[in-house]
Structure 1
């Protein structure tokens, strides 16, 4: 309940935005563990000065206390005025690290040793020059498919003495798409198209959906993963492996043609979407609530992967 109230209070005080400038309302500051020990030492020194009525002890105690007060101002100023902006982030697969780009801008003075990240992941430290820009890339593990929203990011500073920590929690409204983890398996074809393939003598199941026809000369735009490096090493030039469809028709990847739980089916479909896209072979995808017609190319691959990632979600 306390976490929920704390989150609501933060949402009102520091609303989510793609660009946030740290100001007095957005910065909090307390003594660090070193600062707490420093404060205890000052109290002991003051008690000793009172007990022995030692003027030098008084002077040293109040001098160190004034350093503590001045450090509050400098620690706060190191964060105040800093502008944080969220950058673009690419899609990843389940099990990979989602990477978010953050841009830090200084409108006036330099900002030293700014640490930022999402706990419990280690915070990344970066310096921002005066009237300059610094960029960093932060990683978050992608544990499940769909939209990965890291939430509020911690930004803190212990500069210059480390006896105080000033921090803020900012939400740069960042998100990236997490695709299912690819899983090798049988080619999941729709029933009607699978029967047609078997009538033509094709093989609808197994490791591949194409028949190897031979080698052809490399043309700009051909997949580099099809390059025949052994032929190149023998001085035969750049050749690529040529495949032809066994069925002579577009393939239909069907969710209902698979057995197993939902995540396993989506992982198998993800594998074949990547394989067929790499071979530049047209295919269609059918999942409950979404049917993508036969097509090829990067745009079609991305649309299929997006449909698999968002399967069963409201958005």
Structure 2
């Protein structure tokens, strides 16, 4: 079974082009499943049935895991056995009838336009003394909000991916799909300041092409980016937000400003329009909440 997991991992990377994070999660889930199966006496993949799968999920559920985690593990099991069946490693797919917990749809945190502007201004003011780390943070926040990129895409940007003249970024998203996204004048100003005064101060001989460098001169990480967003949000006195919340905010503000769904889909790098459509639901839900709170006959 170990060989099957290794081949499945290669399939996820080579044929499906999934991110390293997703590959690690899926293969970890499959190893957990097969470990549980072996513990119940299963020796061959063909011996795994729906009862074994449900027993595995029930055991996980007893650990009070989040529903999103449970849903992902169910998805990993379905993907694995769909692959084993299609490649002839199993005669049938035991996961066809495997149900996953329903994941509740939570409204993401979306900053008001003036709150987002205040957050960006706070980042700019914190960098006024020219400190390289603060210049990096200002540039990072401006790029996250102006372009709606994911945090993994942000830290993956190289210097050559930035076109300050056209004000565009080339980013590589999920599935190694490349796209070009625009950014505005304030973000361009922050990037230019970082490139002129911030990056040279932190660069070392083996910095490589990364746009954003950490304090030791190497590519900035996702964890540091998330910590920066939380800290600057607290400093600005706005709602606590994550980099992904800034992505949600950018998309929502684009739609509220009159942009069409297809354009927003291109900017965000969504594979399907249905994913982008949830931002129309966010706007509608917030409108409903505001109406019910404010209108006397709601």
Q: How does the TM-score come out when normalised to structure 1?
A: 0.24
Q: How does the TM-score come out when normalised to structure 2?
A: 0.25
Structure with bigger gyration radius? 1
More helix as a share of residues: 2
